[in-house]
Amino acid sequence: MSSYTQSLQRHLAAYKASRLGVKESGTFVRNGRERHYAHILPKELRWLNVLEQIRTEVREYLELHPEVKSHKYFHHLNSSQAFAINLFFPYFEQGAPSALLQAMGLSGEFAGWQPEHIADISEGTNVDVMWHAPSGAKTYCEVKLSEQEFGVARDDRRHRQKLDEIYKPVLFGQCAPELLEPRIFFAHYQLLRNVWLAAREPDASVVFLAPRANTALWSQLNPFIKQLAPSLRRRVHAVAIEDVLAQLVSSQKVPPQLAWYALLLQEKYVVSSAAG
């Protein structure tokens, strides 16, 4: 476990006790043994992982959109799914979507969104958040928080078939040739699957959103992006969570109540002293 992950877990444990008033540790089963952790909520209190200002609205939204399933570990305070909902929901559903996109360094054009989006049923990639512009151009966003790596895949028959039939025809010529070699491809599986989504359409983009303090992720992400062809690379964005929240707090384009809300996100998720 990295020092960043440890720092974030300690920070979230203190947040749970002081801000949420929950003293009881949550449980996590590892190697058949139930372990207790201070940064995990008891499952029956999982909705406390959504900030109070949007909690009722999020629950109503999810009831109306049963296709959006909460993850198994949603009750973990370091759940990246819970973070994504806390970040995107109020700006996309309750106003100021352009302000959030501009805080990410994007154009700000917004017409609609979908969390837990599956772009291609036959391929199966589940995107944390997808939004589209009025033109229909889509942006796919992969959100990370305390994870220490992007996902990998087994080098087996099923995955090799997907590589040959689905990914290679699109990615050939759009990335370094060695990335399409099975051993390297499966070691970068999650990164390449997300880039593949953007590579299918000339106006599509992908955003990798992660804490800058989680240096383990950036040490994978930055060299990977450099291996993409320029025409694709310019549509792949690596964005630091700390920068987005700071911009939302300070921007004159953000309504005051949502600037204040960004302060609450900083309080919960930003550990300034953490190192990856």
The answer for residues whose C-beta is within 8 angstroms of residue 249's C-beta and 6 or more apart is 259, 262, 263, 266
Q: In the chain, what percentage of residues exceed pLDDT 90? A: 91
Instruction: Please write the tens of the pLDDT for every residue from 111-140.
Output: 999 999 999 998 989 999 999 999 999 999
Both tokens of 167, joined, read: 């990914």
Instruction: Please write the tens of the pLDDT for every residue from 225-269.
Output: 999 999 999 999 999 999 999 999 999 889 999 999 999 999 999
**242 lies in some domain:** yes
Least confident of 36-45, 227-236, 266-275: 266-275
**138 lies in some domain:** yes
- pLDDT computed for residue 94 by the predictor: 87
Instruction: Please write the tens of the pLDDT for every residue from 90-106.
Output: 999 988 999 999 999 99
pLDDT of 275 higher than 70: no
pLDDT of 34 higher than 60: yes
pTM, entire model = 0.95
What does the DSSP assignment read for 133-193? Answer: -TT--EEEEEE-SS-SS------SHHHHHHIIIIIHHHHTTTB-GGGGSHHHHHHTHHHHH
End-to-end CA distance of the chain: 10
**223 lies in some domain:** yes
CA-derived radius of gyration, the chain: 19
**275 lies in some domain:** no
Q: Residue 201: which of 130, 264, 270 has the closest Cα?
A: 130
Range of the domain at 236: 3-269
Average pLDDT, the chain: 95
Total structural domains in the chain?
1
DSSP 49: G
**154 lies in some domain:** yes
Both tokens of 275, joined, read: 């190192």
